[in-house]
Structure 1
């Protein structure tokens, strides 16, 4: 299985926020990584098939998984969100770049920040610390088949999408549908923004006065239901 080359091209014109709203509209679980997971390289963006690896204290697991990677994959490192060691450094990032990977998502810490930024490959992690691991644990059976990031477990049936808003995981077999919806949401929001700039308030565009009147008649009416009726896109 390889990353669809259309994936990064289409995501380049979207944001994770657009895709998250598309998931909501499509009834797909919105699987966002915890907000502490941030880009090491400012402006970093990535999109690709999940390439999972569970860290147990040694760099060899990364070399092994990169050895079987396809260009465009995203290395998703599960270090259990640990805050007592850095599990990824500049050499792993360089190796991933040389193998054609799209970037790394690290559920844990990194080090060699200056060197990683110089490499330029997108890396998302929980933060940095100087010390590497001082342990070597037994490798779990799922070490190269799945990874956990926050509350979510992901595998090569998922894609990772990331930008300045954070990291989002989506099922690979539905990402085309989600991108179609996300593009529609993006276009609607852009039209709404353009109209605000020329003097038409968002309240007027979404018929907010009519919503308030409708809620008076029907207290159970939600703003989201109203937006669906008028074609708004600010909540999904």
Structure 2
């Protein structure tokens, strides 16, 4: 029970959700970020894994069934319709997920047992905490273990979920290798730019900002993003 859940293994370990989101933009992949209100219960927690969806209807049995079907490293993605008037997961679900080897939980809804979740240590991202659990039991929806909705996005086992202090991002599993490679290139470019700023060369000089202003004056349709692509800057993507 002493495993470190703050830094996921694999290609995402040296990246951030911001790097991967920029890679999605550059690769023409939809940038599917959870709403900004979905935050980590504990700052500094990161996770990456395949989506293991579960739609909540008032009972934890759907979570236990999803965990029973999960593979080690999966992420339990809970759809409670974005409700914050009740908590749908707490420490027992987190302990069960951790014991089964899951990487963490993303909850489109609220959690409780915050102090106990701190002890569990598993990364949990949610819309916040509330003391009340479900007060009603609704009929279990069809396909409750097939897909989950998080904000505007519907995700399933064909997706990976990545999460850190910048938020939660979903990417198609079959594009992950390409996106991680591109994200690594963007990260490296940004690091070089930061090093040069610290060494005294401004970002404006690095990206030829004066040249951009001159070119834009001649062609008002020229965007800074197009200019950055031409000069190999990262910044916006």
Q: What TM-score range do you get, normalising by the shorter chain?
A: over 0.9
Structure 2 SS opposite 1:162: strand
Aligned residue for 1:151?
152
Q: Given the two structures, how large is their TM-score scaled by the length of structure 2? A: 0.96
Does residue 129 of structure 1 match 2:127?
Answer: no
Aligned residue for 1:25?
26
- CA distance, structure 2, for counterparts of residue 72 and residue 228 of structure 1: 36
Cα contact 1:8–1:48 (8 A) shared by 2: no
Compute the displacement of 1:126 (Å). 0.2
Aligned residue for 2:65?
64
Does residue 52 of structure 1 match 2:53?
Answer: yes
Cα contact 1:107–1:150 (8 A) shared by 2: yes
- Structure 1, residues 92-117: CA drift from partner, whole Å, max 9, x if none? 00000000000000000000000001
Compute the displacement of 1:140 (Å). 1.1
Structure 2 SS opposite 1:80: strand
- Structure 1, residues 191-221: CA drift from partner, whole Å, max 9, x if none? 0000000000000000000000000110100
Structure 1 SS opposite 2:160: strand
CA-based RMSD? 0.7
Cα contact 1:38–1:125 (8 A) shared by 2: yes
Runs of 4+ in 1 over 3 A off after TM superposition: none
Compute the displacement of 1:9 (Å). 1.6
- Structure 1, residues 8-59: CA drift from partner, whole Å, max 9, x if none? 4210100000000000000000000000000002201000000000000001
Does residue 102 of structure 1 match 2:78?
Answer: no
Summarize the alignment of residues 126-205 of structure 1 with structure 2, pairs less than 5 Å apart. Answer: 126-205=127-206
- Structure 1, residues 111-158: CA drift from partner, whole Å, max 9, x if none? 000000111000000000111001111111110000000000000000
Unaligned runs of 5+ in 2: 1-7
Structure richer in strand, relative to its length:
2
Unaligned runs of 5+ in 1: 1-6
Aligned residue for 1:3?
none
- Structure 1, residues 149-206: CA drift from partner, whole Å, max 9, x if none? 0000000000000000000000000000000100000000000000000000000000
Does residue 120 of structure 1 match 2:96?
Answer: no
Aligned residue for 1:15?
16
Aligned residue for 1:87?
88
